[in-house]
Amino acid sequence: MTKRGVACVLLLVAVACAVIGPSLAQMSCSAVDSALSPCSQYVRGQANAPSAECCSGVRSVNQAASSTQARRDTCECLRQIVAQDSSLKDEAAQALPGQCGVSVSIPISRNTDCSR
């Protein structure tokens, strides 16, 4: 293959990675909801501490939110999930990351501004 051919292939690979990579790294709202579903008893006040499975989901969601846009998207998913269920306790939802040893910069609540 000529130098030009190799350059074209490398360019196509770079473009494909740029387009496909970010979408694979980010979680969909349904994936966020599924990952955090083991936390439902804790955030409803029905358990004193989150389960190991819950904390695994919290870590997974936190790791997937590695870019600014991914964090905003994840924040919006979390805000929608919290807003849709009136039985969720705001205090428990806000405490969840810390209970799982995960540091997050945006609090989880019905009133969180995810654009910041």
Task: Return d(Cα 53, Cα 69) in angstroms, integer.
Answer: 26
Average pLDDT, the chain: 79
* Number of neighbours of residue 106 by Cβ within 10 angstroms: 17
Residue 30 pLDDT level (bands cut at 50, 70, 90) = very high
pLDDT tens by residue, 36-83:
999 999 999 999 999 999 999 999 999 999 899 999 999 999 888 888
Smallest CA-to-CA distance from 65 within 30, 27, 114, 35 is with: 27
Task: Return d(Cα 80, Cα 102) in angstroms, integer.
Answer: 21
Q: Domain ranges for the chain, please list them.
A: 27-99
CATH superfamily to which 27-99 belongs: Plant lipid-transfer and hydrophobic proteins (1.10.110.10)
Q: In the prediction, which pLDDT does 1 show?
A: 52
